[in-house]
Structure 1
Amino acid sequence: MPSQPQTRTRLALSFADDGTEYRDLNGNGIMDPYEDHRLSPLERTEDLLSRLSLEEKAGVMFHTVIETGPGGSLLETPGNISKSPTSTVVLGKLMNHFNIHGLGTAREAARWSNSLQELAERTPHGIPITISTDPRHAFIENSGASFTAAHFSQWPEPIGLSAIGSLEQIRRFADIARQEYTAVGIRAALHPTVDLATEPRWCRQAGTFGQDSELSSQYVVEYLQGFQGDTLGPGSVACTTKHFPGGGPQRDGEDAHFPYGREQVYPGGRFQEHLAPFRRAIAHKTSAIMPYYGMPVGLELDGEPVEEVGFGYNKQMITGLLRGKLGYDGVVLSDWELVNDNLVDDQVLPARAWGVEDLSASQRMLKILNSGVDQFGGEECTDLLINLVRDGLVAEERIDESVRRLLLVKFQLGLFDNPFVDEDEAERIVGNAEFRREGRIAQSRSVTVLKNGPSNSRARLPLTGSPSLYVEGLDPANVTGFGSVTTNPDEADVAVVRLIAPWEHRDDLFLEKHFHAGSLDFPPGLIARLRSLAARVPLIIDVCLDRPAILTPLTEFASAIVGTFGVSDPALLDALFGRIQPQGRLPFELPRSMDAVRASRADVPGDTANPLYPFGHGLDLPQRTSPGKQTES
């Protein structure tokens, strides 16, 4: 496909009587206040708000998934995820906030972003698009929560950044991610996730900073600083901190995406501990906050029982606590699909209308509005909102409150003045060699040594020389430069086996197969086979800890065990051979047994009895003394 112009606008720049350049977004030949870059974002917001029709205001209040077409074109046929053609939601429903899923190359992503912004110029007031994304710099591919890095630089999952334990590393990652996002026109991040990883079975721990409230509070400050800066501006990415008021304490660790995981519980009375990172995020001006799907059960605040409905419906939580007591006046974006069921192919994901399942779609929307939410995530039913206003059930002044907040962010980000990106710059910035190098070093540093072999073991870390390796779960081609590979364990000096923390495979509801939930026990057959392997060759086991795992049986026969949180084969080998010093510390404890997990309290960090490896555990390795190529320099 031929290259298109790099920085484009359908609108030629216009000139006011005093010579000031401006974009005539509404085509009236006059520089209206909202088009005047010399005015403050607030002044411009008030002017534009006064000009918008109800239909335009309604469009601002929806934020749904969009997909790209081939080669960075606009997709005009509904895809697997998006519900409508692009022109329908932009020109027909006047929506201008979209969550992007799959992206092509950096150049294709930039081309698509520019084409989308050109389309938005055809709306009555030319409101630019805000493109958002879930995390996309690590390893987990889950269309309901995160994406693999692909063309972006690749880093550990957030839980792995936490394992490194460096404030500077958190901010550096966020700054690099900001540069890569803005290069392709992404201006809103549906992260960070500051839920506390207090229920060992919960499936979303990889996206958190771990179980510790104070550390999570410190890390969110650095994260926001790297993405947003001191204030939102043309170089910023606006962050949505989630999931208010802390989504970690799920009953039995089941996730609130699904009906069986709707209940959020506080048997240890630790609600305030889960809330603490949000206090810090508010103090450091997070652009938006997203309430979780979960429904609080048995929770009281200030002696009053909290209504047992999902947090996105909960007026006590949003208007009373978040807006009132915590003083937050930014955007509140609901989590996805609280109003309507999501049908994809032959599967359904019921609307996360926990506690209000019997309400109609319009009634659910009304309750969400009354709770204090500004924007409906994952929905495009603008007609429902318009009818609520026209039927007198919602005052237009209430709509104005939310639209004002949402437009203000667009003005602060500079989108009204130039929403376009440079395709050449996108190609230069996204996934460049330096960013990839830093990401790989961070991966190696996040490796957490849980157990090391005796000093006389060939599997003692760091490995030395050029050993013969038997490998499983690791691409043999990646061993080049570290040693040789044999397919016969009896001929190997050391075996290296990579595992993923166990989960129960489920695939009834849409998205369910992507969420790792259920028991943390490895299957007995795997344990028996690895025990047999260890009897033939010294065994090093790496377990990818997207959530805790019961490693107790493995400690009986493995010479060394490491935990990882999103680490490539080469980065793991760099750590195992000491070319880059692993420095990870466990961001959550590893329980000794499932009995201990079942007996623990969901809201209490580190609550399993006699854990195998406690929070903060991690062994330092001796400095490597044998010669070898140093990847970190």
Structure 2
Amino acid sequence: MKTRARRGVVALSAIAIGAATLTVTGGAAAPQQRLSPEELLQQMTLEEKVGQLFVTYAYGRTADTAHPENMAEFGVDTPAQVVQKYHLGGIIHFAWTDSLYDPKQIAELSNGLQNAAVSSGAKVPLLISTDQEQGQVTRIPEPATQFPGNMALGAGRSVDDAGRAAAITGQELRAMGLNQNFAPSGDVNVNPANPVIGVRSFSSDPALAAQLTAAQVRGYEDSAPPGETVSAAVKHFPGHGDTNQDSHSSLPVIEHDRQQWEQLDAPPFREAIAAGADMVMSAHIVVPKLDDSGEPSTLSPGVLTGMLRGELGYRGVIITDSLQMDGVREKHPDAEIPVLALKAGADMLLMPFNVQVAIDGVLGAVRTGQLSEQRIDESVARILALKSARGVLDNPFVDVSKVDQVVGSPEHLAAAQEITDRTTTLLRNDGMLPLEPPGTMFVTGAGDKATAALAERIRVRGPQASALVTGLQPTPEQINQAAEEAKRHDVTVVLTNAAWSATNATQLDLVRALQQTGKPVVAVAVRDPYDAAYVDLPAWVATYSDKAVAMESLAKVLFGEITPVGKLPVPVPDPNQPGVDKYPFGHGLGWSGS
């Protein structure tokens, strides 16, 4: 906790807002008043304070873009008007809100939103966020620097690489005007059937997951001066790793007892808190052996106040996961959910189903005495302190003219490739790899971008290569077409993506059909490594990612340009022998076979 005190995230320090007027390209003038977080809080109305508790999205490429979805959902035309109407504490960006097109556009949108915030209401700048976990959950694509994601970093086993990946991601986000990243996932993926975490987790090993979670917190928050870094939000407390249900569409129940939680789930959160995490996100899960309320953790005082605040000593900002998810909306009306979350100990309320209903619910709870205004003040104080510590109050704007110097810079791209090269894992090799460059190669399987990227990287190395996308659920016709095409090539590489799940099981039929052609086949799990247990082939590789940067590392391994050094960060169970691992934790072959 010394790190947090040093940063001033707990105490309402006297860091001034608007130390100087700053005009930037595509931006606006910073506020000129010098107010500490404490002074800001004292001058805010109840409505302004309640607005600070909420984070939601708005539709449009610029702050002044009139978008019909804004009128339908919020009753106003533009993103700037959404910010001003609700006095929002934060905005979150998605591709589906038409917010993420290219780095300069994102930076200009960010500046426009900040201008709306500081020119109205309490004049408090926004937290602007997204989910740039990397890997499977990546909101901003190229030219932003891409990484293969957490499980790949777990395979690399490098604290330095995990921290560097976070630092690069954070610096690029801040250059685009985003000062908050909902990452990393601190969940320990001990359940191979987990449909919502999987490769978003660093590992099934609590110690490894804890080390890399803490490394990323430091990378996001400590790699540069506060005005150039982003807040990390570690998720999903108290731990979403051991479930076979998705909290987006149901309310998962995790049966860990106290000892299991202490040993399996708690370590990453403990280490993240020790590293000074600005924010922790709650999970919409029920943990009956830890909390007998029957409520999802997001709405449970026993979990948020008792465990996170009390037992782990966390003093930063607690934010809910999206309040639109079915896991939290199962038991209560939308007007009550934010009130219950605040009573449980949450500070910020992410993406309520109806923002006006949610805000009115909180205001009504204060006016009727269900919530005290002092309780609201406690959360707003934490939010303002976080904004102060990250330099958001001091200067929320970015220089759009400098975005291209940071986002996707040659230095960042080179670092990402080096890091990714240390994550590719060779699970099985019966003498097939590395390949002698064949005359022709065929790439097929899941992922149109991945298959195309790999084929292109094969071609630059000499062999002719063609690609055929068969998708997550290949049909018999697609499987037959791929098998016939494989017969006409010297070597086939097939990419699988969560083929272990019942939904995607026809991918395994594709692999078997390719195997039956008698031609050499290399199989590559480009998401969870669990696919490798289902079909025995001479060569299985795990990349944990289908990003182009991972396909480049895969090509290097296929042709022996680098030695595969990744080690499994999770065990791969044998589906035919319960309790037995086909490939154990830590397994990974080099060219020597060990």
> What is the TM-score of this pair, normalised by structure 1?
0.78
The 3 A distance-change label for structure 1 pair 463 and 333 is same
Aligned equivalent of 1:402, options 358, 379, 390: 379
Q: Which residue of 2 aligns with 1:542?
A: 524
1:588 aligns with 2:585: no
1:234 aligns with 2:227: yes
How big is the shift at 1:469? 1.7
1:501 aligns with 2:511: no
How big is the shift at 1:521? 5.1
More helix by proportion, 1 or 2? 2
| Residues 573, 581 of structure 2: 8 Å contact kept | yes
Q: Which residue of 1 aligns with 2:474?
A: none
Deviation by residue 1:236-264 (Cα, 9 ceiling, x = unmatched): 211111111111111xx1122222x5212
**Percent sequence identity over aligned pairs:** 26
How big is the shift at 1:151? 2.3
Deviation by residue 1:410-435 (Cα, 9 ceiling, x = unmatched): 11122222111111211111012221
Tell me the secondary structure at the aligned position of residue 152 of structure 2. Answer: helix
How big is the shift at 1:595? 6.8
| Residues 118, 125 of structure 2: 8 Å contact kept | yes
Distance in structure 1 (CA, Å) of the matches to 2:319 and 2:406: 30
1:551 aligns with 2:532: yes
The 3 A distance-change label for structure 1 pair 539 and 80 is farther
Q: One-letter code of the match for 2:380?
A: V
Q: Which residue of 2 aligns with 1:330?
A: 316
The 3 A distance-change label for structure 1 pair 82 and 312 is farther
1:313 aligns with 2:295: no
How big is the shift at 1:78? 4.8
Deviation by residue 1:474-531 (Cα, 9 ceiling, x = unmatched): 3233322223236654453322222212265xxxxxxxxxxxxx56855563243122
| Residues 84, 121 of structure 2: 8 Å contact kept | no
Deviation by residue 1:370-410 (Cα, 9 ceiling, x = unmatched): 11111111122322211111122211001000000001111
Q: One-letter code of the match for 1:472?
A: T
How big is the shift at 1:46? 1.2
Q: Which residue of 1 aligns with 2:479?
A: none
1:77 aligns with 2:67: yes
Deviation by residue 1:13-42 (Cα, 9 ceiling, x = unmatched): xxxxxxxxxx33xxxxxx55x1xxxxxxxx
How big is the shift at 1:148? 5.7
Pairing of 1:328-407 with structure 2 (within 5 A): 328-337=314-323, 342=324, 350=326, 352-354=328-330, 357=331, 359-379=332-352, 380=355, 381-407=358-384
Which residues of structure 1 form unaligned runs of 5+? Answer: 12-22, 25-30, 35-43, 343-348, 455-459, 505-517, 597-608, 624-633
Q: Which residue of 2 aligns with 1:19?
A: none
Q: Which residue of 2 aligns with 1:525?
A: 509
Pairing of 1:134-283 with structure 2 (within 5 A): 134-135=131-132, 137-138=134-135, 140=136, 146-147=138-139, 149-203=141-195, 204-229=197-222, 233-250=226-243, 253-259=244-250, 261-266=251-256, 270-273=260-263, 274-283=265-274
Aligned equivalent of 2:434, options 438, 462, 465: 462
The 3 A distance-change label for structure 1 pair 185 and 560 is same
Q: What RMSD, in angstroms, separates the aligned Cα atoms of the two structures? A: 2.6
| Residues 296, 307 of structure 1: 8 Å contact kept | no
Distance in structure 2 (CA, Å) of the matches to 1:574 and 1:390: 64
| Residues 467, 493 of structure 1: 8 Å contact kept | yes
How big is the shift at 1:445? 2.5
Deviation by residue 1:182-215 (Cα, 9 ceiling, x = unmatched): 1011111111101001111102111111101001
The 3 A distance-change label for structure 1 pair 52 and 524 is closer
| Residues 201, 519 of structure 1: 8 Å contact kept | no
Q: One-letter code of the match for 2:412?
A: F
Q: One-letter code of the match for 2:541?
A: V
> What is the TM-score of this pair, normalised by structure 2?
0.83
| Residues 137, 155 of structure 1: 8 Å contact kept | yes
Q: Which residue of 2 aligns with 1:423?
A: 400
How big is the shift at 1:7? 6.5
| Residues 445, 580 of structure 1: 8 Å contact kept | no
Tell me the secondary structure at the aligned position of residue 66 of structure 2. Answer: coil
Question: Number of paired residues?
Answer: 530
Q: Which residue of 1 aligns with 2:554?
A: 572
Q: Which residue of 2 aligns with 1:100?
A: 93
| Residues 67, 81 of structure 1: 8 Å contact kept | no
Distance in structure 2 (CA, Å) of the matches to 1:180 and 1:156: 16
Tell me the secondary structure at the aligned position of residue 512 of structure 2. Answer: helix
| Residues 192, 240 of structure 1: 8 Å contact kept | yes
| Residues 548, 591 of structure 1: 8 Å contact kept | no
The 3 A distance-change label for structure 1 pair 519 and 615 is farther
Distance in structure 2 (CA, Å) of the matches to 1:523 and 1:491: 21
Q: One-letter code of the match for 1:241?
A: V
Q: One-letter code of the match for 2:434?
A: P
| Residues 521, 594 of structure 1: 8 Å contact kept | no
The 3 A distance-change label for structure 1 pair 365 and 214 is same
Distance in structure 1 (CA, Å) of the matches to 2:111 and 2:43: 25
Distance in structure 2 (CA, Å) of the matches to 1:229 and 1:82: 41
1:90 aligns with 2:83: yes
The 3 A distance-change label for structure 1 pair 492 and 519 is closer
Which residues of structure 2 form unaligned runs of 5+? Answer: 1-22, 446-450, 467-484
Q: One-letter code of the match for 1:9?
A: A
Distance in structure 2 (CA, Å) of the matches to 1:198 and 1:519: 21
How big is the shift at 1:353? 3.3
| Residues 201, 548 of structure 1: 8 Å contact kept | no
Deviation by residue 1:519-554 (Cα, 9 ceiling, x = unmatched): 685556324312213x1x221111113x34343442
The 3 A distance-change label for structure 1 pair 588 and 48 is same
Distance in structure 2 (CA, Å) of the matches to 1:369 and 1:122: 28
How big is the shift at 1:571? 2.9
How big is the shift at 1:107? 1.1
Q: One-letter code of the match for 2:346?
A: V
1:481 aligns with 2:451: no
Distance in structure 2 (CA, Å) of the matches to 1:318 and 1:592: 37
Distance in structure 1 (CA, Å) of the matches to 2:260 and 2:116: 48
How big is the shift at 1:165? 0.9
Distance in structure 2 (CA, Å) of the matches to 1:82 and 1:172: 42
Q: Which residue of 2 aligns with 1:40?
A: none
The 3 A distance-change label for structure 1 pair 559 and 580 is same
Distance in structure 2 (CA, Å) of the matches to 1:81 and 1:464: 60
Tell me the secondary structure at the aligned position of residue 498 of structure 1. Answer: strand
| Residues 66, 82 of structure 1: 8 Å contact kept | no
Q: Which residue of 1 aligns with 2:11?
A: none
Distance in structure 1 (CA, Å) of the matches to 2:225 and 2:213: 16
| Residues 152, 423 of structure 2: 8 Å contact kept | yes
| Residues 159, 209 of structure 1: 8 Å contact kept | yes
